[in-house]
Structure 1
């Protein structure tokens, strides 16, 4: 699996967003996951790390109605 395919499989990550990240890091979009160097892996992880994380305890629980789930 290519790194582009992996990024695009994530929610809200399309081709443009994924390509922009990889281009900025100098990683070819067809690069296979297992062939990333330690340096490339660390750079990609740093870019993907959330800048601000919200603890799960402070997030409201989703409301469930029948089969639909609504976020509060």
Structure 2
């Protein structure tokens, strides 16, 4: 799935990815590689399901 980093709280280590249909929670521990994230970055990811709902996992930054 593809999306854009809509909100990122660096001090807390989490944020939200905006897709065409929804906003999905993510935590920096789900990044596939060590990168510095910023709002507006394009990413690809997989969707996981947990006790608190859906979340993004295996997140990768997509080059423009």
Q: TM-score, structure 2 length as denominator?
A: 0.20
Larger relative helix fraction: 1
RCO comparison, higher one (Cα < 8 Å, 6+): 2
Task: State the structure with more CA Rg.
Answer: 1
